[in-house]
Chain A
Amino acid sequence: MKTYIAQRLGIGLLTLFGMSVVIFLMLRLAPGNIVDILFSTGGYVNPSERAAIEKELGLDKPLWAQYADWIGQMAVGNLGKSYRYDLPAWEVIKPLVPVTLELAALSLVVSVLLGVPTGVVSAVRQDTALDYLLRVFSLAGLSMPSFWLGMVIILGLVAWLGWIPPVTYVRPGDNLGLHLIQFMLPALAVGYRSSALIMRITRSSLLEVLREDYVRTAWAKGQSRRAVIWRHALKNAILPVVTVIGIEFAFLIGGLVVTETVFNLPGLARFLVQAILWRDYPIVQNLVMFIAVVVILSNLVVDMLYGVLDPRVRYGH
């Protein structure tokens, strides 16, 4: 088990190294840099002033030297300074992390609470009117982009109720009720889409398991419907669903851009887009690395969960 985890972490480190090179180069391949943006807000460009600022920010160094600086600093826990805000990058990033983690987690809770039961009902009631209804419901969720749904929710609320959730972030400590209201709607918008995927995976996986011999045996032994489906069948059908949940969580960490923008939540994803537009390299590089770490760790956690959920799964020696 320890060897397996060590191997996985080793692979994770290699992945992070690859990611660091890719994100570093891709950012520099995009046209313009922070100095161009700064001059853009001034409406002109002065070559000598431009060169001075590039020097000040270390952008005049060769690429390999800039990369080495970044990796070297990161290794000692220094994430550098935001070009845009002139503040330590971590100071800028730190308040964004809980917002996105909370939204992703709540969205996932919504998607699981919605997706798993509907998937089970759909599988158990296969080819009935209820099954068709739930499949249409899930297909609609997959077809509707969450940002579109978010905007429709906002516009609908303001048109019918003259109300929208708070547009300034309410911290849980300041007003927990308002905080939950603020997160509930975006979590529903995002969770609905994810739930559609979870529902479909749950349904197909459960249909497969329900045809297994041991399920037939359970029915033959006269076990209750609840016991057969929820205790025996679902436990084995849930493995692919756990995989999807893990992938969804990882996706949500970086994929909430438009939802955070529409609901005006100060999260990582929205900030990442702004940082890209500003070519704020330290912020973008470190945020992408953070997202990569979350993806790697959530995959590892999912793999570990396999062992918990299915005793047959054993990790290498």
Chain B
Amino acid sequence: MKRFRFAHHPFALGLAAAVIAAAASLAVAQAPRSGGVMNVMQREDLPQGFAVHETSTVSTSFPALPCFNNLVFFDQSKPTESVDTIVGDLAERWSWQDNYRNLVFFLRKDVKWHDGKPFSSKDVKYTFDMLREAPEATAKLRINPRKDWYANIEHVEAADAHTVVFRMKRPQPSLLMMLASGYTPIYAAHIPPAQYRTSCVGTGPFKVKEWRKGEFVEYVRNPDYFVKGRPYLDGLKFVVIVERGTRTAAMQAGQLDVAFPGETSKTTMEQLKKAVPQMVFHQVAQDVSDNIIMNVKKPPFDNPKVRLAVSYAIDRRGLIQASHQGGAVLGAAMLPRPYGVWGMSDKDLSTMPGYGPAADMKARAKKLLAEAGITPDKPLKVEMATRAIAVYVDMASFVINELKQVGIEATLKQVETAQWHAMATRGDYQIGANLTGLGTDDPDANFYENYACGSPRNYSQYCSEEIMKLFDRQSQELDPKKRLDLVIEIQKRLEQDAARPVLAQRLDYFAHWPHVKGLVPHHNIYNFTRFQDVWRDK
């Protein structure tokens, strides 16, 4: 039998040449192109302008990110964020010294602010002195929501024009995670912080051209950007569309290229996919959780058994199906794997209150309530507070129905946004349905902000000295494996204490048109939209 020799066949050679040519042309097609403007969805006008340090809302951080740089940032090409995916930004490199007590940053020397002034270590010192409200700070923020993130910094020293040293009270390896968050841009020392509420002088890849109130924020390429050849785009336009239906229609009609982070629910994704099959969706975690806050300082939730009964009563899987149509996942305080790195395993979760079979969990809840003196003929009547926003009300309604099944009669109290945080911080409520977003997937950022004694965002006012010690232990643990074990242990304890029972971790089906290239959504809505490496294939 004559053996067919592929390589010697003229047709085969032609085919091979064609394949190589096609591959080459594909490679050329995929090479980033410069130019063009991208229209980006913005769900509301910027609440505090570009003053990222004075807010905790993605409505500010998302449209402000292209203006700024951090010292370090999360690698924009990797969706899962961890200390291993942190890359240099304004800092070329960094070095931990003195057993993680001192963190030295070596800054880039080729950076200019958008107004032409040179960037230096003074700007870094200015920013962090202001953020931690140091006695030597030369400026003060009107509102400072993340002061607790920097509580462990003792001193920031501008060693020379391009070297900054962070001196810590104790080792804190995950400080870098906070510094890499979209919530930690560097402000210019020569600009008063109040000015960022109306305009933006950053070092980022784009310069603000115009902010037309209630309409759009327009950016143009920063020609002096320190990363050569970036950004690819000539400009960005964040279009403010308040009405959700109009936002989706604008996306579908191609008037917007990129969706707002956290905006595309599973239902919206299915609707858009049907209408525009070529649209690209990424299933990512938002790092935003549905949770229950219970005021531990007031009856009846000062009784741990009642709190635990509430946690047992709520069927997490049922909530994910009913309120999220499957667009959420189970998880405790930290984002579960593969979205995050600190989450509890499914096996561990299944042993936690409320995560087992619904009937068993409800039986446990009833037993606990009976032990607390609450029986069907003597039901507990409470007021369930929540923000008067659909996503909150949906969750609260589900929870009320769950509680009813174990003998807790809850009435819904919708609280206007203007009152919600004031009410929660004052502890002027019994039980509430709440959403919590994390600026970065790090235990320090979460635990100290939401569970630590005395933290203004610890709405339940839960306080355990023992847990606080565990917080500090994990924070200064240098061995990642040991730290993970500690973090898992803490999460178990928080769930068992029903400190702030987490019901679900929300997913986003982040959408963009196929001509948008180089945009990799992260499992966190706050940290991936600088648009430095994004380009238009159109």
Task: Give me the interface of A with B, judged by CB distance under 8 Å.
Answer: 30-33, 36-46, 49, 52-53, 84-87, 92, 95-96, 151, 154-155, 157-159, 162-164, 166-169, 261-264, 266, 270-271, 274, 277, 279
B252 interface contact, C-beta 8 A? yes
Asked if A162 contacts B417 (CB within 8 A), the reply is no
Asked if A166 contacts B255 (CB within 8 A), the reply is yes
Contact A42 B55, CB 8 Å, known A92-B213, A168-B239, A277-B417:
yes
For A163, list chain B residues within 8 Å (CB): 253
B residues 164-193 near A (Cβ < 8 Å) are: none
Asked if A264 contacts B246 (CB within 8 A), the reply is yes
Which one of A52, A169, A261 contacts B215 once the chains associate, using CB atoms below 8 Å? A169
B212 interface contact, C-beta 8 A? yes
For B143, list chain A residues within 8 Å (CB): 38-39, 41-42, 46, 49, 53
A221 to chain B, nearest CB (A): 57
Which one of A87, A159, A274 contacts B45 once the chains associate, using CB atoms below 8 Å? A274
For B45, list chain A residues within 8 Å (CB): 274
For A30, list chain B residues within 8 Å (CB): 418
Task: Give me the interface of B with A, judged by CB distance under 8 Å.
Answer: 45, 47-49, 54-57, 59-60, 142-145, 194, 197-198, 212-216, 237, 239-243, 245-246, 249-250, 252-256, 275, 416-422, 425-426, 456-457
Asked if B418 contacts A158 (CB within 8 A), the reply is no
Contact A261 B243, CB 8 Å, known A40-B421, A49-B142:
yes
15 CB-based A-B contacts, threshold 8 Å: A31-B416, A36-B419, A37-B418, A38-B48, A40-B418, A46-B456, A84-B47, A85-B49, A85-B197, A85-B213, A167-B246, A167-B255, A169-B215, A270-B214, A277-B417
**A168 vs B250: C-alpha distance in the bound complex, in angstroms?**
10
**A179 vs B395: C-alpha distance in the bound complex, in angstroms?**
42
Asked if B253 contacts A279 (CB within 8 A), the reply is no
Which one of B59, B198, B245, B249 contacts A86 once the chains associate, using CB atoms below 8 Å? B198
Asked if B246 contacts A87 (CB within 8 A), the reply is no
Of all chain A residues, which has the CB nearest B255?
A: A167
Asked if A43 contacts B213 (CB within 8 A), the reply is no
Asked if B245 contacts A262 (CB within 8 A), the reply is yes
B40 to chain A, nearest CB (A): 12
* Residue of A30, A44, A95, A263 with most partner-chain B CB within 10 A: A44
For A271, list chain B residues within 8 Å (CB): 214
Interface majority SS on B: helix, strand, loop or mixed? mixed
Asked if B252 contacts A167 (CB within 8 A), the reply is no
For A32, list chain B residues within 8 Å (CB): 416, 418-419, 422
For B417, list chain A residues within 8 Å (CB): 37, 40, 277
Asked if B422 contacts A39 (CB within 8 A), the reply is yes
For A37, list chain B residues within 8 Å (CB): 417-418
Contact A155 B56, CB 8 Å, known A49-B143, A164-B250, A168-B216:
no
B208 to chain A, nearest CB (A): 14
Of all chain B residues, which has the CB nearest A156?
A: B249
A171 to chain B, nearest CB (A): 11
A190 to chain B, nearest CB (A): 16
Asked if A44 contacts B142 (CB within 8 A), the reply is no
**A64 vs B212: C-alpha distance in the bound complex, in angstroms?**
34
* Residue of B57, B245, B254, B418 with most partner-chain A CB within 10 A: B418
A176 to chain B, nearest CB (A): 19
B293 to chain A, nearest CB (A): 12
A226 to chain B, nearest CB (A): 45
